[in-house]
Amino acid sequence: MSLEKLEIPLKQQLESIDAKGVSKRHEKIITGIMEAEDGFGPRVTLRGNGDKPFLQMNSNSYLGLSTDKDVIEAEEDASQLFGTGPGAVRFISGTFAPHVILEKKLATFCGREAAMIFSAAYSAVMGVLPQLITEETVVISDELNHNCIINAIRLAHPTEKTVYRHLDMEDLEGAIKRYLGKYRRMIVVTDGIFSMRGDHAPLNEIVAICKRYEEKFEEGIITVVDDSHGVGAFGKTGRGTEEVTGTKVDIHIATLGKALGVNGGYVVSSETVIDYLRETAPFYIFSNPITPSESAAAIKSLDILDSTQGLKLLEKLRRLTRHLKEGLKDLGYETIPGEHPIIPLMIRDTEKTSRLVKHLFKHGILATGLNFPVVPKGDEEIRFQVSANHTEKDIEYLLGVLKRF
């Protein structure tokens, strides 16, 4: 059948997206990575820009492990041993030794009984939440939670859900109280690190509030966190928001694709919860896992993170983050307090944000501008992300370019 009739409304929607300035399909294509030299960190080249070097200030690879030689070697060795792909979903013939070893390491690293890996952290959230949300479950969610949490809740079709004001513990407690005695189970779900802002959830307060009321629900209050931006980038040993807040939630979800530099997602919890999810989560059961070689690379990344080398990388990351934040403050720019390497530069004006992004690009700096309707009017920003691959000279170069704007 012809697509001509369908393409008419699709083109109209694309035109509307372009008119709003929120298009994502025109991607910058990285054609190469230039090694660090002269005190500067690595640079990338882009299609259509020749050999011009660009400083990446928009990468989630917080520890620079995606280009670490030992991580690369681990993946190459595993590819030689196991091939390039799993060949099937796990319960058929797609489970390899590196998958199992990685899950054991993740469980140990996160201080849990068991872990399971997914093809992506987005898939993990989509695979976990709907399996825990029944018709007798009410869901409470932070208003700035990631799109994966929002869509997972939509997929589950809970009988009731409530969104509490961002990081507002009084509003969260009020929401819990409204449902006392009405449902068998409650789920409270939050991001660990909020990706647009770099601030973090007070998990210790959330857990304490939930414990005060969990006896009022026959199946308890289950706390869930997606700490994809936290693990490997936040906390003294890189254990994320749980480490910083000194607490553990019931179900912890995160990614292998940011600070750990590889691909995939995972969930850690009790052995019973993980066994249940292996039997019920369709995003796990019916999707191929990450490759054995990606698992081997993630194992190596975890080994690095959980070592003296990892502690040094984390300290460097914190030092560079402080350097950039202090430099922005000295230049009179506004940012949001916090220690995470996501540093939002609050511009609060759509046109100025777009101009500054272009100014940065002209001077060889890649940064992400966030305008309305991606963020509310008045919250327009440029999101910088610091990496352990950066150097003091990189930060000074960025600050110099911003000073000339």
What's the pLDDT score for residue 152? Answer: 97
Q: Give catalytic status of residue 146 as yes or no.
A: no
**Which residue in the list 99, 161, 200, 229 is annotated as catalytic?**
229
**Which residue in the list 141, 195, 228, 301 is annotated as catalytic?**
195
At which residue do the structure tokens 């068998």 appear?
184
**Which residue in the list 99, 258, 323, 390 is annotated as catalytic?**
258
What's the pLDDT score for residue 350? Answer: 87
What's the pLDDT score for residue 1? Answer: 61
pLDDT means per 10 residues in the chain (405 residues)? 89 90 88 95 97 97 97 98 96 96 98 98 97 97 96 95 97 97 96 95 98 96 98 98 98 98 98 98 96 98 98 98 97 94 94 94 95 82 97 98 95
Q: Give catalytic status of residue 195 as yes or no.
A: yes
Please state, in angstroms and rounded to a whole number, the distance separating the CA atoms of residues 336 and 145: 17
- Residue 257 corresponds to which tokens in the numbers above? 């694709």
Q: Give catalytic status of residue 24 as yes or no.
A: no
